[in-house]
Amino acid sequence: MKTRGMVVKRTLTLLLAASGIGLLAHPASAASINRNANIVVGWAEPPDSLNPATTGARDVGPLDVNIFNTLVWMTPQFKVTSDLATSWTQSPDGRTLTLQLRHDVTFHDGTPFNAAAVVANIDYITNPATQSKSALGLLGPCKTAKATGPYTVEFTCSAPYAPLLAHLTEPYLGMQSPTAIKKWGKDLGLHPTGTGPFKFVSYTPNQSLVLERNDAYKWGPAATGHSGPPDIARITYDIVPNSQARINQFQSGQSVMMQETPGVFWNALKAGGRFNAVPVPISGMGIFAPINASLWPTNDLAVRKAIMFAVDKNGVSKLADAGAHPVSNTPLEKGMTAYDPSLEGMYTYNPKKAAALLKADGWTKTGKFWEKNGKPLTIKLTAISTVPEYPLLAQAIQGYLLKFGMDATVQQLAVPAWLAANIKGQINMTPLQFVDADPDGLHFWFLPGQYFNWSHYTNPELTKLLTEGQQVTDPAKRIAIYKAAQKIIMEQAVEMPLHQNIDLVMTSKKLTGLSWEGGGFEYFGTAAITK
């Protein structure tokens, strides 16, 4: 799982290259490219670690995708294509995945890439001492890798695991130099060494990350449509958490790209026409709020459904980010495998329907708030205090609940306290995001015993469906399974989808060719600066 600040699709009008990857238009002539360009990118959050095996941060993925290659690559249309692996086969029982690897790849430190290097990476990720976050979870039950030839590697799963190939595309499973793993140990995150288009130069904590072109790079994913080394010589990611400072930096020309643009500025800068507005879709479950089915009063299904009808999500989006993000109405984002449009209209903004549900359930409203058996209907919301959007979302939800007659409060918490409160089931609702390239992401939230089952809801039918979804390899059957699972989630109102998860990126007109891997990871291996 990946979140902003820690762990934790809209159908877009994209400019698509013939390869099928999202791109800004690339200059027509190589003569127009400045191959000595040193660019600055305004980045919103400091990385927790640049080590892909140990990070849990969503915003580290787009950094690592430029340093590390993965075994396979995913296009923005969720097609798995070759990267360090050229081909693969899966056993009929779904327990073994065999990959054939490229023969011409070296890590930035000169270490050769081969099957032994892949095994060393998997051993490192699965070693408890590594304390892997996202990477370990992405492997699921497939935690054993064996070299069956110099350039052939075999993954073995303790149970069939259909999402494995899609998960291998994520930068959190980027291949690291085995030499670097041994040399740097716990300091590996300060010395990231991959095979990617850019090499690590320096990292100044909370200030900047500097990368330089890998001139030896000739093994970029074919789906990107770019061959050879990058056209940009150096990238400096300036870490500027303050939104206004990031905007000022960009508008003054100090940076050529700004990430996570606040909605009100996105709308204004887009309308001005001086810059390129690039909505980068982030796959998964979007921005949503789990609703705790174990804590009073949201342990009452009627209350959960009333909440869904009482909150105007269009209004929430406008209040929180000037409406720059389209609303979500389903557990999986538009564009995701198993997205189900039939669920879009299940909960429209309808306070009258919400009131009818509560009345039928024995709630009365004689004063300001609804009550039952002498107890007012109180809702506790939390939000991560360090990510500006989340308190705004929580406060917008609070406003609608108060207007409807639910006594809603918002508590802003630092990440450790926020995690603890939600894990212990002390909170009714909290806004967050979840990123995944496969619908199996739902299992993290709704299977028994999962760390992120913050709705504290499971039932045998849902458990059966989510387990089958991991094991069934037939694509059509998987889609049907995940649609059925989403219907239960929505009928039980244990999750409120809020809005689509999009990185609102602004770029200079001189920056062209910026692309992204499926999942929403900005990739500079295809980018260029025009003269």
Mind listing the pLDDT tens digit for each residue in 152-170? 999 999 999 999 999 999 9
- Residue pLDDT, tens place only, 282-303: 999 999 999 999 999 999 999 9
Instruction: Classify residue 112: in a domain, yes or no.
Output: yes
Name the token pair of 463. Answer: 């458990």
Q: What are the residues whose beta carbons fall under 8 Å from the beta carbon of 128, sequence distance 6 or more?
A: none
Instruction: Classify residue 262: in a domain, yes or no.
Output: yes
Q: What are the residues whose beta carbons fall under 8 Å from the beta carbon of 379, sequence distance 6 or more?
A: 297, 298, 307, 401, 406, 407, 408, 409, 428, 429
Please check whether residues 41 and 173 belong to one and the same domain: yes
Please check whether residues 486 and 515 belong to one and the same domain: no
pLDDT at 13: 22
pLDDT at 292: 98
Q: What are the residues whose beta carbons fall under 8 Å from the beta carbon of 182, sequence distance 6 or more?
A: none
Distance of CA 150 to the CA centre of its chain: 34
Which 8-state DSSP code applies to residue 140? Answer: T
Q: Which domain covers residue 87, as residue numbers?
A: 30-281+503-529
- Residue pLDDT, tens place only, 20-37: 334 555 554 677 899 999
pLDDT at 21: 38
Q: Is 241 helix (H, G, I), strand (E, B) or coil?
A: coil
pLDDT at 9: 28
Name the token pair of 531. Answer: 């003269």
Rounded Cα distance, 158 and 83, in Å? 25
Please check whether residues 63 and 116 belong to one and the same domain: yes
Please check whether residues 312 and 240 belong to one and the same domain: no
Rounded Cα distance, 172 and 133, in Å? 9
Name the token pair of 415. Answer: 């990440």
Please check whether residues 277 and 358 belong to one and the same domain: no
- Residue pLDDT, tens place only, 442-487: 999 999 999 899 999 999 999 999 999 999 989 999 999 999 999 9
What is the tally of structural domains in the chain? 2
Q: Say if residues 78 and 516 touch (Cβ distance below 8 Å).
A: no
Residue 422 above 60 pLDDT? Answer: yes
pLDDT at 26: 54
Rounded Cα distance, 323 and 95, in Å? 45
DSSP for 414-457 reads -HHHHHHHHHTT--SB--EEEE-SSGGGGHHHHSTT-TT-TT--
